[in-house]
Structure 1
Amino acid sequence: MSSNYNEVIARTLLATERNMVVNDNSTPLVIEPKGDSNAKYLCDFLQNNSQPLLKDLAKHGAILIRGFDIDTSAQFEQALLSIRGMSGMNELLLSEAGRTIADDTKFVFHTNALTKTGGRVTFDDFHSENYFSPDVPRFISFFCKQPSRFGGETGLVNLEKIYADLPSELKSKLEEKSCFAARYSLDEMAARYGLSVERLEAFCEKVGLCIDTQNDQRYVAVHKPSVISHPVKDNKVLLINFMNFPELQQAVMKVFLPDYKGIKWFYHKLNWHVPLLNSVIHPDGYLQTLYRRLRYGNSVHNGSNGSLESEKSKGVSTHFTSEDMKILAKSMRAHYSSFIWEKGDILIVDNMQMAHAGMPGYGSRDIKVMMCNPLKLPLTERGAGYYPVQEPSPNAQTLGSQILAFDAEYS
């Protein structure tokens, strides 16, 4: 099945550990204790078996570490950084609002302090992490401090297999030219990082970010390739965020609807058919989101407000027809995997292979996230839609760290 680890048990998930039936049981690979389960033992194991673990991560797309005594975000951080070659990311250029660091850690984030993610009424959008911002992690990891009462899985879809299912004509369009991802006000970005506009322009030129003008306003524009070759497997992978895909959300709910049976899902299904209920009165809706924004809005890590629309450039969703959306939704379900979260679980995901999303559920859910190994991707509109990704160097820095160093040099 995979590498032979003498110190632990390596296995696939049992049917009772999943809420849904899956077509491929190989994701994620489960690592659990054979004897000792304390945090130090786990760190030693991860350090001593780093290379085979990374190979298995590429093979399976995700690894679930289960049954060890991991109780805090700090222990989660220490465990992940025990893997040789794994480096944490904390300063992310143009990070989203609500991305704040968890207490007593350097690299562990709340999934979002402003908006509940996963374990709610609606489906989150499947996405490759940080698609809308320039700093993209090679790996992303989640730590479960508190699972939902029911549901609330972190769903995974295999983007390599989904890409293989797409029509040939669509593949050609995606590989031809990079697509617009997001744009950010140049003035707001300069104010956030304490740089003059002129100095910010120099930084953008240095790192390959485009500056665009729309309606007499200047923006930093982020463009991304839509298809990459996996740095280990060398296979083509779709690397996008499925937010703002017309008709896709309804198509996804339709193909997943048979998986949500029984009276406990009645309220969720009602909201799916009458979305206004969730938008207004449900705790996951506008009122709760407004409360979170009022409470946390002054955070120093409040984030950047990006626009996902452009008058000049096309986003990746414009390449997909209505029929493509149906094919995409069916492929997502066919290549879907998830598991029932347990307290103390650590999930490590290959962000160059798997997209993830918070699935519907109920009850308080506390999941922390850590991003590792910043990738260098082309960010200009002149780039091709296909890009062969290389493993990042051990000393690779995020653009967020680089702009802070640029600021210090200027000061």
Structure 2
Amino acid sequence: MTLEPGVLSDVSQRALPGAPSCLLVVSPEREGADLVEWGRAHAPALRHLLSARPAMLFRGFRVPGVDAFERFAECIQPTLAEYLERSTPRTEVSGKVYTSTEYPAHETIPQHNEMSYASAWPMKLFFHCVQPSQEGGATPIADSRSVLEWLSPEVRERFTQRRVMYVRNYGTGVDLPWQKVFQTEDRTQVDEYCQRVGMQVEWLGGNRLRTRSVRPAVTKHPLTGEDVWFNQAHLFHVSNLGPKVSAAMRSVFKEEDLPRNSLYGDGSPISDADLEEVREAFRKTTYAFPWQAGDVMMLDNMLVTHGRTPFSGARRVVVAMGEMRSERDS
């Protein structure tokens, strides 16, 4: 089958009520249509369309298991990515498919662009709902361009010019150990990797490690040329833990020893007012839909953020990533 760029056949395309224009719902015209088979025929069209519709929800297709989800993702992105420079606990499910972040069900995961704190990040994200939760457990999304538009010119300018510094302390007994983050037990390999990607390294007593990395806060999308909000400043900041927990953390750790925190790229603190404005921009632009069993969602990770709402009952959503990119590619 040969298709014009961006043309999808044998499906209906629609929006969900109240959804942002970035989200497109694609459903088969024929009941029981296999997503992998359809995806193979439409992969070039989907890749072409993704910049215009950077969040696509495939609903109503037959997806017989995680292996089928992985094969569909590989139709769009033949080489899927490993989860490196880890920031959250996940488990490898199959090949390059991982569980979604394994945080407790009662916790909210704020909106973020996947791995925007890292030296390299995936351009494409794939989610598959194997089992929706009884209540809650949505994966809300927001348009990164809309988030940027909601911010005041002063806040945009500060973040654009100063960038974001991510500070992590490993080996504190809180958060992931450096061995898990860098997938090695060898300190020399960590040093070499960090030097290669421009990350400052400081080994402390007790086999503890501190890293500092300065990354963009606002950047341009490589295909559309649009400015996008692209960072995890509000998520990494200690205030993300909430007033009680962040106060408790600060009572235990010195500011420089916090397990993770964010600063402006010049090392100056990000003000509470600036962080609140960022969070308000996400509140204004975030959209959530309930998962259905078998759903697959594909995102352009630079144009669309994602998160997770609290949930009850069993929930299983798996994730794959692809098309890694770094600042050096700009």
TM-score by length of 2: 0.79
Q: Which residue of 1 aligns with 2:213?
A: 222
Q: In the TM superposition, what are the counterparts of 1:146-157 in structure 2 within 5 Å?
A: 146-157=131-142
Contact 2:165 2:264 survives alignment (8 Å): no
For the Cα contact (< 8 Å) 2:131–2:315, is it kept in 1?
Answer: yes
Task: Give the counterpart letter for 2:75 in structure 1.
Answer: S
Aligned to 2:32: 37
- Taking only the aligned residue pairs, the percentage that are identical comes to 20
Matching residue of 1:384: none
Which ranges of structure 2 fall in alignment gaps of 5 or more residues? 172-176, 246-257
Q: CA RMSD in A?
A: 3.5
| Cross-structure match for 1:267 | none
Map of 2:254 onto structure 1 = none
Aligned partner (choices 200, 211, 235) of residue 210 of structure 1? 200
State which drifts further: 227-236 or 328-337.
Answer: 328-337
Cα 1:26/1:203, change in 2 over 3 Å: closer
Contact 1:132 1:182 (8 Å CA) reproduced: no
Matched, 1:107 2:96: yes
Deviation at 1:34? 0.9
Residue 156 and residue 86 in structure 1: after superposition, are their counterparts in 2 closer, same or farther (change >3 A)?
Answer: farther
Q: Is the 8 A contact 1:38 1:69 kept in 2?
A: yes
Relative to structure 1, the CA distance from residue 249 to residue 160 in structure 2 (aligned partners, 3 Å threshold; closer, same or farther) is farther
Q: Which has the larger radius of gyration?
A: 1
> In structure 1, what is the Cα distance between the partners aligned to 2:42 and 2:198?
37
CA distance 1:320–1:162, change in 2 (3 Å): farther
1:93 partner letter:
L
Alignment of 1:135-146 (within 5 A): 135-146=120-131
SS of the residue aligned with 1:309? strand
1:101, CA displacement in angstroms? 0.7
Q: Quote the Cα distance in structure 1 between the aligned partners of 2:298 and 2:186.
A: 36
Distance 2:38 2:87 in 1: 34
Question: Structure 1 70/218 Cα, relative in aligned 2: closer, same or farther at 3 Å?
Answer: closer
- Per the alignment, residue 243 of structure 1 pairs with 235
Letter in 2 for 1:205: Q
User: Which of residues 79, 92, 97 in structure 2 aligns to 1:87?
Assistant: 79
Tell me the equivalent position of 1:409: none
Inter-CA distance 194–229: structure 2 relative to 1 (3 Å threshold): same
Residue 162 of structure 1 aligns with which residue?
147
Spell out, residue by residue over 1:29-81, the C-alpha distance to the aligned partner (whole angstroms, 9 max, x if none): 11111115343xx2233233223312332222200011111131111101111
**SS class of match (1:193):** coil
Within 5 Å, give how 1:261-276 maps onto structure 2.
none
Structure 1 residue 244: deviation in Å?
4.8
Distance 1:131 1:312 in 2: 15
1:6-405, aligned counterparts within 5 Å? 6-13=9-16, 15=17, 22=18, 24-35=19-30, 37-39=32-34, 42-83=35-76, 85-90=77-82, 92-96=83-87, 98-102=89-93, 105-113=94-102, 115-116=103-104, 120-183=105-168, 188-189=178-179, 193-195=184-186, 197=188, 200-212=190-202, 219-241=210-232, 242-245=234-237, 307-309=259-261, 318-322=269-273, 324-377=274-327, 390=330
Return the letter of the residue paired with 1:6: S
Output the TM-score relative to the length of structure 1: 0.65
Q: Which amino acid aligns with 1:230?
A: H
1:156–1:354 contact (8 Å) kept in structure 2: yes
Distance in 2 of aligned mates of 1:132 and 1:44: 35
Gaps of 5+ in 1: 16-21, 251-273, 277-305, 379-388, 391-411
Which amino acid counterpart does residue 361 of structure 1 have in structure 2? F
Q: Given that residues 117 and 231 in structure 2 are in contact (C-alpha distance below 8 angstroms), is that contact kept between their aligned partners in structure 1?
A: no
Task: Measure, in 1, the Cα distance between the counterparts of 2:313 and 2:227.
Answer: 38
Matched-pair contact (CA < 8 Å) for 1:154–1:339: yes
Q: Is residue 170–residue 320 contact of structure 1 (8 Å, CA) maintained in 2?
A: no
> Is the Cα–Cα contact under 8 Å of residues 12 and 27 in structure 1 kept in the other structure?
no
